[in-house]
Amino acid sequence: MSPQRTLALQLALLGLVSFSAVGSAQSPAALASSRYSVDGMHSTVGFATTLLRAVKVRGRFDDYDATIIYDEKHPERSSVSAIIQAKSINTNMGFRDDHLRSPDFFDVKTYPTIEFVSDRVVPHQGGATVSGMLTMHGVTRRITFPVQLALAPYLIGSTRGVAFTANLRLSRKDFGIAGTNKFNPDYNPLTNMLSDNVDIILELDAIRDGFATRRLGDGTPPSVADTINKTLQAHGIDAAIRTYHSLRATAPASFNFGAYELDLLGRKLSECGDLPNAVQILKVNATQFADSAGVLESLAETQSLSNDRSAAIETYRGVLAKFPNNVNAREMLRHLEGVSSDPAIGTTTAHPGRRPTVPGCS
């Protein structure tokens, strides 16, 4: 982590902001601009329990996804959804991790995911109390726990972030995790005296990636996005799309036509305020890379930013049809499907144009 990023997180963690459950009053654009994804590179989903009533055993889950909707002006409309891959449990001891993955504990082949969806958050001084449904080992239970929040966004370049910490205690037996020794006879539950209580430690950095300052055209071969952008600026969107298809057909080796190239161009246009052209560029990319979750999510989010609620719902539903565990699509849909259909809220109101206050836009 860079010194600047570390400092930003430390400053963010000094903030105390309220965080609450799903609301339906946001416009699609406000909703989309409030979406953050937890950054697994700078976050921890950890746990600790005890053996022999005193020996601390610590571990973590290495594979997880979480989406936070944080409305800074109306924090009561915020929410979170998360999915943890149970097999990613890691206590830095291979044979113990294999035992934890077995039917004696998590039974990860039968129950591959651990899922949480918030449904209520009560703000209080210094944080909030979060409630929601936790599903683990085939059992769903409502849990409530305190969260220390720092959701006043910090900014690094054009990327925004939020951070929060939480500590909670779970009973493994509440979720049917007995801790037997059928799959590991060397483990004796009676003599090991494994605690039923498991302390969960969350240290999460959630970010909203910025694209305006990223460069087009870098690399060998060069990105096709730079040529398409120049055509767009000089001759308009129809000419840009025609140029893309022509180059893809006649000069496939001369440019990088990877999924990221038009995705970056579309996200740059969106961030700089040119939403109509951004949507058209991202539609082309979605046609070419229909099996890329990231490509489809970019289109859906830009449709949301354009306040095109019905199009965003359709695209996010398409994401879930192909990727059922996509927490971003899940979280956005449960908000979008509750957004008012009033024309003042749910229709397209965006206009093309640049926002010079955004770094990288001119």
Q: What is the model's pTM? A: 0.85
Average pLDDT on 130-143 reads 96
**Residue % of the chain over a pLDDT of 90:** 67
Q: 346 falls in which pLDDT band (50, 70, 90)?
A: very low
18: pLDDT strictly greater than 90: no
Average pLDDT on 118-129 reads 82
219: pLDDT strictly greater than 90: no
Most confident of 118-122, 184-188, 204-208, 343-347: 204-208
3-state secondary structure the chain: CCHHHHHHHHHHCCCCCCCCCCCCCCCHHHHHCCEEEECHHHCEEEEEEEECCCEEEEEEECCEEEEEECCCCCHHHCEEEEEEEHHHEECCCHHHHHHHHCCCCCCCCCCCEEEEEEEEEEEECCEEEEEEEEEECCEEEEEEEEEEEEEEEEEECCEEEEEEEEEEEEEHHHHCCCCCCCCCCCCCHHHHCCCCEEEEEEEEEEEECCCCCCCCCCCCCCEHHHHHHHHHHHHCHHHHHHHHHHHHHHCCCCCECCHHHHHHHHHHHHHCCCHHHHHHHHHHHHHHCCCCHHHHHHHHHHHHHCCCHHHHHHHHHHHHHHCCCCHHHHHHHHHHCCCCCCHHHHCCCCCCCCCCCCCCCC
Going from the C-alpha of 118 to that of each of 78, 96, 98, 180, 337, the distances in angstroms are 9, 31, 30, 31, 16
| Dihedrals phi, psi of 149, to nearest 5 degrees | -115, 150
206: pLDDT strictly greater than 60: yes
Predicted local distance difference test score (pLDDT) of residue 15 = 33
Predicted local distance difference test score (pLDDT) of residue 152 = 67
Tens of pLDDT, residues 27-86: 999 999 999 999 999 999 999 999 887 889 999 999 999 999 887 777 778 889 999 999
Q: 145 falls in which pLDDT band (50, 70, 90)?
A: very high
Average pLDDT on 279-296 reads 97
Name the pairing type of β-strands 79-85 and 89-90.
Answer: unpaired
Average pLDDT on 312-341 reads 91
Predicted local distance difference test score (pLDDT) of residue 343 = 39
Most confident of 5-19, 47-61, 188-202, 274-288: 274-288
227: pLDDT strictly greater than 50: yes
- Show the domains of the chain with their CATH numbers: 3-208 (2.40.128.110), 224-346 (1.25.40.10)
Separation CA 260–CA 240 (nearest Å) = 17
Separation CA 248–CA 267 (nearest Å) = 21
Average pLDDT on 330-358 reads 59
Q: Which of 301, 312, 314 is nearest to 266 (CA)?
A: 301
Predicted local distance difference test score (pLDDT) of residue 9 = 41
